[in-house]
Structure 1
Amino acid sequence: MGYAFDLSDVRFLRSAEGSDVLARCADLPLTTASRLADVAAVRAVAGDHAPAVLETLLLRRRAVAKLTEAQHWLFTDDALQQATPTLVARHRAQRLAGRDVHDVTCSVGAELAELTGVAGRVLGSDLDPVRLAMAAHNVAGVALARADALAPVSRDTVVLADPGRRDTRGRRHDPAALQPPLPALLEVYRGRDLAVKCAPGLDVDLLDWAGEVELVSLDGGVREACLYSAGLSSPGHQGPVHRRATVLSSRDAAWTITDAEPDDTDVRPVGEWIVEPDGAVVRAGLVRHYGARHGLGQLDSHIAYLTGDVPPPGVRAFRVLEELAYSEKALRQALRRRGASSVEILVRGLDVDPAVLRPRLKLAGRSGGPALSVVLARIGDAHRAYVCTAHRTS
């Protein structure tokens, strides 16, 4: 759970003295081996505030991969775990550009930082006074208020919420167990323009939600599902959007696909390439739409693998070298014929654990051969194996 900050800790960390202490200690190793020396060094300059300083230094280092301003921010452990990555928050801010926005669960300000300068007026509120004090440091100048998300204190704004998904026992998956409970949040703001950040595994069918659900991935990992009320969803070419997948990258341009696009994807035999769409596309149920956009077919109507002779740009695709009926013996022989030194195993629709199968293929100790990928899939009633080479398309 991390160190339990109080307001006196935050006041110290925000003070000139605290800022000086953090700067002087910023280059400490902070490793397991250096722990005793690090603690002594911080105590010498921070006194009773040493635990807060050490925790802040550790959290800032953890946050660098997630938040662009992490080197100067204040966090609690829980707040950092749930904070929206900068690129994801920036994407959402662009969707809300020009609108007045009230973040009713603002925490330490990750969303507020991206809304500022993009949205109209911005207001943040939270029940936790420590997180609010941290937000005041992290996003200076933004209006903040201590308020319960279920007791509205604003009018005529877009409402943005990120219900808490953790307690002392770990993650909570039941929408009614979130803080605040998701069904109560949706009811309180019924009729308002509303955006609610949720875990990517949320079962939206459990909710009475008539708006849009956007699945967002970043650098290959699915980060969230965001509920947008109908007033915040842009219409598609063929009607309203109910499902959207957005793929963000720290290297490449972002792209999006929706259920308002055509989904006339056929089922066909394997072609030169196998493509597994980004996880956001899969979780949003838009595999057929993605296939139609790129001229790909499905290997089977019930699995997410697509196939064709030209893979889309910017994806990890698998060039098919060989197709065979799957059995461990047949696969082992195929890999040995090709002199494989290692194998990546991807599975859809079969009860196969790659971690169990890999050592049974007995490639350990072989060297000098190619690293191959194997796609295992149920095609109709048949179990098929595709021996491939993996490529990143440009």
Structure 2
Amino acid sequence: MGYAFTSDDVAFLRSAAGVAALAEVNALPFTDSSRLHDVGVARKLLGERFAPVVETVLLRRRAASKLDSPETWLFTDDALQQATASPVARHRAARFAGRDVHDVTCSIGADLFALNAVASRCLGSDLDPVRLAMARNNVPGQLVVQADALKPVSRATAVTADPARRDSSGRRKWHPQDFVPPLDELSEVYAGADLAVKCAPGIDFAVAPWADEIELVSLDGAVREACLWTRGLATAGVSRRATVLHGDSSWTITNAEPDDCPIAPPGQWIIDPDGAVVRAGLVRHYAARHGLWQLDERIAYLSGDTPPAGIRAFRVLEHGHYTEKALKSLLRTRGVGRLEILVRGLDVDPNTLRKRLKLTGSGEATVVLTRIGSKPVFVLCEAQRT
């Protein structure tokens, strides 16, 4: 759970003395081997103030891989865990460009920072006074007030929310009725507003029948969130969307596109679509866009003779009926000592299988284990960046 910050801690961290203390402690390495010693040094330097300063230094270092320029930001551990990664926050904020928007669960201000750059006017609110104080530090000059998300304090604004999905002990909440605020209550309160709700990507979309568009967003290969869009924030004619962010590039695909996709045996390449495409149920649409086909209508692996540009695809070397004995013999014959195992549609644990295969040799390969109809198959491949 991390250190439990107080409002007094935040006031100190924002003061000249606090800024100086943070700079002094940030000069310490805090490596695995030096951490205990460095904490002791900080304690001697700062006395009872050492804990919030050390925690802030460590959280800022963690935040560097998630947020843009977090060197002056303030966080709690759980707020940083739920904070939207900066590229994803900028992508979501783009739909609010030029509008008045109210972030009703602004927390420490990660989404508010992105919104402030594009919206006409912004308002942030939250119930937690500590996080509000941190948001005022993180988004200087931004209007932030204490308010319950289920008791609106703004009018005629678009609304965005990111319900808390952890309990007081830090454990994840999986049921939308346990979110804070609960998902259904949030949708009822803002039924007349243009609403966007950030959710975990694994959410069962059936629990949000009020969402006009559901967007799955991945960043650098990892699916980061689902966003539920309503009314004027949704795209006409689109109910599902996948957006893939990678470096400075991005692309999107929706269920408004064609999904004509044949079923055929493996061709020259195997393509494993981005997780956002799979989670959004747009595998066939992706295949149709790129001239690919499915191996099985219920399996997300695709094949084709020309893979899409800019992805990691798998050039097919050999394929056939899968048995562990036959695969082990093939890998030995080919001298494969390093093997990536991808599985979909079969009850196979890659780590357990790899141990049983007793790989030797200097070669490396990827094997795709899946099924076509009821038949288990293997596809031995060479991974390449297209």
TM-score exceeds 0.5: yes
Aligned pair 1:298/2:294, yes or no?
A: yes
1:255, 1:217 → 2: CA distance? 10
> Which residue identity lines up with residue 374 of structure 2 in the other structure?
D
1:60, 1:142 → 2: CA distance? 21
Deviation at 1:35, TM superposition (A): 2.9
CA contact (8 A) 2:158 2:194 kept: yes
Matching of residues 69-84 of structure 1 within 5 Å: 69-84=69-84
- CA 158–2 in structure 1, closer or farther in 2 if over 3 Å, else same: same
Corresponding residue number in structure 2 for 1:38: 38
Corresponding residue number in structure 2 for 1:189: 190
Where do 5+ consecutive residues of structure 1 fail to align? Answer: none
User: Which of these residues, 288, 312, 324, is aligned with residue 284 of structure 2?
Assistant: 288
Corresponding residue number in structure 1 for 2:47: 47
> Which residue identity lines up with residue 377 of structure 1 in the other structure?
T
Corresponding residue number in structure 2 for 1:245: 242
For residues 56-105 of structure 1, the C-alpha deviation after alignment (integer angstroms, 9 at most, x for no partner) is: 01101111100012111000001000000000000011121111110000
Worse-superposed segment, 317-326 or 23-32: 23-32
1:189, 1:328 → 2: CA distance? 55
| Identical aligned residues as a percent | 62
> Which residue identity lines up with residue 5 of structure 2 in the other structure?
F
Matching of residues 32-181 of structure 1 within 5 Å: 32-167=32-167, 168=169, 170-181=171-182
Runs of 4 or more off by more than 3 Å in structure 1?
none
2:209, 2:36 → 1: CA distance? 54
Corresponding residue number in structure 1 for 2:226: 225
CA contact (8 A) 2:294 2:301 kept: yes
| Number of equivalenced pairs | 385
> Which residue identity lines up with residue 37 of structure 1 in the other structure?
H
Corresponding residue number in structure 2 for 1:374: 367
DSSP-derived class of the 2:55 partner: helix
User: Which of these residues, 333, 354, 357, is aligned with residue 337 of structure 1?
Assistant: 333
- CA 210–80 in structure 1, closer or farther in 2 if over 3 Å, else same: closer
Aligned pair 1:390/2:386, yes or no?
A: no
DSSP-derived class of the 2:24 partner: helix
DSSP-derived class of the 1:66 partner: coil
2:338, 2:32 → 1: CA distance? 34
2:364, 2:78 → 1: CA distance? 40
> Which residue identity lines up with residue 184 of structure 2 in the other structure?
P
The alignment's TM-score, normalised by the length of structure 2, stands at: 0.98
Deviation at 1:207, TM superposition (A): 2.5
2:361, 2:334 → 1: CA distance? 12
Corresponding residue number in structure 2 for 1:15: 15
CA contact (8 A) 2:213 2:235 kept: no
> Which residue identity lines up with residue 321 of structure 1 in the other structure?
L
Corresponding residue number in structure 2 for 1:29: 29
2:36, 2:4 → 1: CA distance? 21
Deviation at 1:43, TM superposition (A): 2.5
2:231, 2:194 → 1: CA distance? 8
Corresponding residue number in structure 2 for 1:199: 200
Worse-superposed segment, 36-45 or 131-140: 36-45
Where do 5+ consecutive residues of structure 2 fail to align? Answer: none
Deviation at 1:49, TM superposition (A): 1.1
DSSP-derived class of the 1:72 partner: coil
2:16, 2:358 → 1: CA distance? 62
1:74, 1:188 → 2: CA distance? 31
2:96, 2:334 → 1: CA distance? 53
For residues 166-193 of structure 1, the C-alpha deviation after alignment (integer angstroms, 9 at most, x for no partner) is: 1115111100000111111011100100
1:261, 1:137 → 2: CA distance? 44
For residues 30-51 of structure 1, the C-alpha deviation after alignment (integer angstroms, 9 at most, x for no partner) is: 1343233212322233222110
Deviation at 1:362, TM superposition (A): 1.2
1:385, 1:110 → 2: CA distance? 44
> Which residue identity lines up with residue 350 of structure 2 in the other structure?
P
- CA 313–43 in structure 1, closer or farther in 2 if over 3 Å, else same: same
RMSD of equivalent CA atoms: 1.1
